[in-house]
Structure 1
């Protein structure tokens, strides 16, 4: 305990008086110091990192249920020497999907056999749960227990079935659960406790939204999680802008949903009516096959030819509306310097060509019934009505607003957590590796200060968005697609070129200097870590955004191990390019483990046949000494509390603060 002088204690007397209200005497203060110092020596909790989920809710949910294989490894570790491999696999699946697995087992067994299975399974689940709980205090475990079974679970977890005096007591608890027909409910609840205790904290490093069929389902799952943070991705910021009522962001979200035939997300998931757009599209593009706008349909999607034809027309209609809205937005913000992206003005309607960065390209489509050659960026009256109705629907979608509020509450542009710097895409750099300076609101920003400024502006864009022209929310569109957005990291978003120009030359989107410079440069990585207040020797950069093409030999481990890029292709649209179905990262008390996943087949296969995601583990970094709570951010906060309490104890003993005995 530190030796505090009387002067030091008197200088802090006001604070110590307040602290004494919670710890009124030496005994209570000493008790808390003992408790906190003991906690500091527990193993650090396990962190789980996921990124670029892109609405693939089934694969995401499975990875959440199996904790990237952590639960299976724990089951094998605790029971591998006592039961057969097939039973270990069945028990793992049971923990992932307890209700569904029990229903399946019930159909295969009679009641007597089922009762015996319940007893044996509860014994095994308690063993696994006890191991998962061993890293935490009794108080923390108690808070994780479900109300219905809190007392029973605590007794089973704290007792040993082999202890002579408690053996019959322990056995009777389990037997009574079976006799009273509560075994199934108990198994469901203890499986949830195992999953909760296995992962202490979850990191989502951006892009929950777009492409996949269920980003709304992913958001519902995240809102139920006990401890997490989110680093916004460019697709998330787009939906944040749409929820703020920004017309350009809304047009982009609808266009992307139509591109991947995910209208259900907008219509059923968020209750947004697309009938006005459908009616307008069907009328204006009735005789246009819109071949370049046929949506990307997966094998799992059962879509009729008529539905595909309608979606293609809607897709083209909203794309044209988007380009018009974006050109108007660029006019409104000359400080964005995006005039070169006003490509509607570069169309030669007579010759059916477009000039992109000084080069003339033939257009593959010249049917533009809503474009006025003299004012191609002006919405027609009907287009304006469609936009107004979409804006109203997005602003008044209760479920969308709830999800976006959560995205703001738990999210940020970046996060520093336990000596790791987490961000979705990149840090803005110049070609020489220096931090790029951006002028915003009359001031210059770079590095961490720039990220902080963008974070503040993104919040103001949603919560302070009061103008009817949505000027405040335009920054969210900027963060979606501007070359100076750390969420985007490319020189342009070549959407127009990909739709209307067959020559692939102008399709190329060049990566920001960050991606080019950092690959082998651990010095640059350390420089970035220092900028954000992270220990450059212990810390890592962890991000996603650009899928790692494993099939082409790319590695997710870069900058000599200082950077981990964990976007491996959760989105099915990327899996042919990446060769896998996503990376996840686990950081436990022993070190960092990178996991690559094969494509997930289905929940049905997992339950019926025990078909788990095939995952490959790579140890990225192993600690020479097991990390304890004292080595974490939370540990530093606890140590600060210990210092305060020791100061209070000293104040009691020196008579600066009076003890309260009653």
Structure 2
């Protein structure tokens, strides 16, 4: 036995000091490997839609309803099943309604408790008792464990369980107990959550989504382009900060920053009022304007919107000028404007500008911030970098997030794999290194982390700068278009300038040879899947989320309300359980009140993607393979004990 192997076994012996201890662990791990595979839930492009996201988390994209059907089958009516499902999603709200009409609450409590206990038993059956115990609510852990665990030593089980339930009701803890059981069911029907990016922007509640994810029991996150720009803002990147402010202003969501993160908007509001007070800023109307907002509030938001947009165009121009290796000079547009004539020259053609009022732009030095703009951005930078709540949320993205994820034979990412027209991996210059494929992703992720953690300020700045490149570059795996036509959409009427051509990846999604090459690049076999977010699937136009004969799954179907008019649905989610993979089409979410009062749900049509040849077990997963490695190591330890190479610590 080699010294290195012997030293490893000696360390392992510290954890399992006897033959009995090592043997017990082998038996335990083998038992776990033979449990059914846990359910994975894939969600992407949430875009701040907290209520819809929360509902999908609660229902597990139909997983809760499936458990109810499995337990009660034809013994409950569909109406009773819907009522029970709604109770599990919204226990407090639903019970408040039931109390208004139910004459005998004690009977209702008893019936409901028994039903919830049966669902808990079913949901927990694929987990070890130890894992279930860790998920139990602290206040009721012992009682719930008694109720959902078989007691072979109890002769009269029915009387035993009845006495527990009767006591819960008698001491007036039934409602608290029902809430605890409902939350436990929500937690146990999904073993692991995958977020494939774009938690932020457009919708009004991204900070609430992040709060929810902070306490989620098991998840990973693939960064989206809208997440990465918030990460850059938190790290202090001025172009990222300006972009975050502009998008919040554009969608009428500045209260996310003010109320959600405590970032003071007064410096920007004061500046915008002073500089653009006589400007109608008509090109900067808010998307999805709130009818309850006062006219003067709308006017202020439009001025702030224009002010920060001009600042953003200046700052990104400075960045692209500083980094010619980014190859983004074509997006430096302020120096292409003839300010006297009010026209801009793009691709050899002149276009009239819809707005000629640029009081802060010096035509001889168009990318220079004025003293007032500089002061505003310095104050915004301090506010973003010193915001404790934003730091916590970005820390979650750093701890749980990556540019891509490989999990249980699936490759997960947001955006696209940058490809050339002929399907080759696009070579990209990252600070002097020509990289493509997996190496590109890995190098970019290193720089993102450097923006937060590098000791060397030069490396830290490179990280901040590359984050903005990741946000908007045609070569970025998170963007995947030939340009971000923000300026054109604001200032030019001609639609031809608004077009953003997608990377060839999107035309090659059905090319099996190329998709297999992508999988091999990440060390995956050809029977693996690519799960992809970022680009909404236009179901209303007949587009399918299933590409390349099921090898590629595009699961963004329009969570954001801004997309739903084009997509025809409210997003796709993906469920991967022990029986296979299913895409779930979501219906638009109306409101929590409607969901509770009318028992409406939003999971709709299901598309079978992969039917497992046999029921999958933990042994078929990444965790199962790691457990097998540990079992093999423990068997080597047993040999060492029995051969006398290592002595038991008895």
User: Do both share a fold (TM > 0.5)?
Assistant: yes
Indicate yes or no: 2:608 matched with 1:619: yes
Greater alpha carbon shift after TM alignment, 168-177 vs 455-464: 455-464
**Alpha-carbon shift at residue 81 of structure 1 (Å):** 2.2
Indicate yes or no: 2:439 matched with 1:439: no
Give the structure-1-normalised TM-score.
0.96
Decide whether the 8 Å contact of 1:159 with 1:170 is kept in 2: no
Which residue in 1 is equivalent to 2:121?
130
Indicate the SS of the match to 1:12: helix
Decide whether the 8 Å contact of 2:447 with 2:466 is kept in 1: yes
Q: 5 Å matches for 1:5-44?
A: 7=1, 12-44=5-37
**Alpha-carbon shift at residue 491 of structure 1 (Å):** 0.9
Q: Pick one of 541, 557, 561 that aligns with 1:572.
A: 561
Once the two structures are superposed, what CA deviation does each residue of 1:349-394 show, in whole Å capped at 9, x if it has no partner? 1221101122211111111111111111111111111111111111
Decide whether the 8 Å contact of 2:447 with 2:462 is kept in 1: no
Once the two structures are superposed, what CA deviation does each residue of 1:282-337 show, in whole Å capped at 9, x if it has no partner? 121122111110101256x5212211111111111111111011111111111112
Once the two structures are superposed, what CA deviation does each residue of 1:602-640 show, in whole Å capped at 9, x if it has no partner? 101111121111521111110111111011000000000
Residues 160 and 28 of structure 1: is their aligned pair in 2 closer, same or farther, counting only changes over 3 Å?
closer
Decide whether the 8 Å contact of 2:88 with 2:182 is kept in 1: yes
Q: Pick one of 609, 634, 643 that aligns with 2:598.
A: 609
Residues 466 and 107 of structure 1: is their aligned pair in 2 closer, same or farther, counting only changes over 3 Å?
farther
Indicate the SS of the match to 1:435: coil
**Alpha-carbon shift at residue 470 of structure 1 (Å):** 4.5
Once the two structures are superposed, what CA deviation does each residue of 1:249-280 show, in whole Å capped at 9, x if it has no partner? 01101100111001110111111111111111
Greater alpha carbon shift after TM alignment, 143-152 vs 474-483: 143-152
Decide whether the 8 Å contact of 2:192 with 2:219 is kept in 1: yes
Residues 465 and 555 of structure 1: is their aligned pair in 2 closer, same or farther, counting only changes over 3 Å?
farther
Decide whether the 8 Å contact of 1:48 with 1:584 is kept in 2: yes
Which residue in 2 is equivalent to 1:268?
259
Which residue in 2 is equivalent to 1:52?
45
Q: Pick one of 305, 309, 327 that aligns with 2:295.
A: 305
Indicate yes or no: 2:63 matched with 1:70: yes
Q: 5 Å matches for 1:214-613?
A: 214-298=205-289, 302-464=292-454, 467=457, 470-518=461-509, 520-537=510-527, 539-613=528-602
Alignment gaps of 5+ in structure 1: 1-6
Residues 614 and 43 of structure 1: is their aligned pair in 2 closer, same or farther, counting only changes over 3 Å?
closer
**Alpha-carbon shift at residue 464 of structure 1 (Å):** 2.4
Question: Structure 2: how far apart are the matches of 1:161 and 1:288?
Answer: 79
Residues 126 and 160 of structure 1: is their aligned pair in 2 closer, same or farther, counting only changes over 3 Å?
farther
Q: CA RMSD for the aligned pairs?
A: 1.6
Decide whether the 8 Å contact of 1:465 with 1:473 is kept in 2: no
Residues 298 and 559 of structure 1: is their aligned pair in 2 closer, same or farther, counting only changes over 3 Å?
farther
Give the structure-2-normalised TM-score.
0.97
Question: Structure 1: how far apart are the matches of 2:91 and 2:4?
Answer: 57
Q: 5 Å matches for 1:70-219?
A: 70-110=63-103, 113-159=104-150, 165-219=156-210
Residues 60 and 203 of structure 1: is their aligned pair in 2 closer, same or farther, counting only changes over 3 Å?
same
Greater alpha carbon shift after TM alignment, 347-356 vs 435-444: 435-444
Question: Structure 1: how far apart are the matches of 2:20 and 2:370?
Answer: 77
Indicate the SS of the match to 1:48: strand
**Alpha-carbon shift at residue 107 of structure 1 (Å):** 2.4
Question: Structure 1: how far apart are the matches of 2:136 and 2:124?
Answer: 11
Decide whether the 8 Å contact of 1:340 with 1:357 is kept in 2: no
Indicate the SS of the match to 1:621: strand
Residues 49 and 614 of structure 1: is their aligned pair in 2 closer, same or farther, counting only changes over 3 Å?
closer
Alignment gaps of 5+ in structure 2: none
Question: Structure 1: how far apart are the matches of 2:154 and 2:381?
Answer: 66
**Alpha-carbon shift at residue 161 of structure 1 (Å):** 11
Decide whether the 8 Å contact of 1:245 with 1:470 is kept in 2: no
Greater alpha carbon shift after TM alignment, 143-152 vs 456-465: 456-465
Once the two structures are superposed, what CA deviation does each residue of 1:518-574 show, in whole Å capped at 9, x if it has no partner? 2x212211111111011212x111011111111111111012211000000000000
> Matched residue pairs, number?
649
Question: Structure 2: how far apart are the matches of 1:591 and 1:461?
Answer: 39
Decide whether the 8 Å contact of 1:240 with 1:462 is kept in 2: no
**Alpha-carbon shift at residue 18 of structure 1 (Å):** 1.4
